[in-house]
Amino acid sequence: MITRTWEDLQLPAPGTFALDVAHTRIGFMAKHMMVSKVRGSFTDFSGTVAIAENPLDSSAEITIRTESITTGSADRDGHLRSEDFLAVEKFPEITFRTTRVVGYSSGEFTVLGDLTIRDVTKQVELTVEYGGAGTNPWGQEVWGFSITTEIDREEFGLTWNQALETGGVLIGKKVKIEIEGEANPAA
């Protein structure tokens, strides 16, 4: 892989890269009954990253098919696909598009972008940890990353909840989003 040194990183040369779906996981976590965490992921998505000459000018776009949500429970997945949550019939996609990279420090970029869920768009801040670059055994260029953020689901119209007899609610408002992945040069 052709790399270049920028700050303390060995970054790929400028270009457009596609998410490697086989090596990327888009996951989330929310509190359940105020006592535990439920995790899930989306299995159908696509995205690109355009790495600029100045990495702080880079951009990314991701499209997630809402129907692909999975938590390991068919009943819960069905509820999450329903009108109470993602309403997948009306809103088949979640999208993210960067608006700007606002900073870099110690291997992590701070990225602002527009996240759209249920046709509600809000600006979110992502922490993007660059994992490094290399060439896989089949000669394909690859670079890795980890992305984290936290959103308030109610700001996106995901307001369904149920009060608990013991106090509190069934589902927490905050949702942590975690993406682990790899990208390859776009075809």
Provide mean pLDDT across the span 111-124. 97
Which DSSP category does 13 fall into? P
Residue 135 domain boundaries? 3-182
Q: Give the model confidence (pLDDT) of 91-116 as tens digits.
A: 999 999 999 999 999 889 999 999 99
Q: By the 8 A CB rule, do 45 and 63 touch?
A: yes
User: What number of other Cβ atoms are within 10 A of residue 66's Cβ?
Assistant: 21
Structure tokens at 136: 């896989």
Kindly state whether residue 138 falls inside one of the protein's structural domains. yes
Any domain includes 187:
no
**Is 0.75 topped by the overall pTM?**
yes
**Mean predicted confidence (pLDDT) in 24-36:** 82
**CATH number of the domain encompassing residue 136:** 2.40.128.110
CA distance 3 to 19: 18
What is the per-residue pLDDT across 142-164, written as a single tens digit (0 to 9) for each? 999 999 999 998 899 877 777 76
Q: Are the C-beta atoms of residues 15 and 51 closer than 8 Å to each other?
A: yes
3-class DSSP state for residue 174?
strand
* Residues 116/92, Cβ–Cβ less than 8 Å: no
Total of domains in the chain = 1
Q: List beta partners, residue 4.
A: 11
Confidence at residue 163, expressed as pLDDT on a 0 to 100 scale: 73
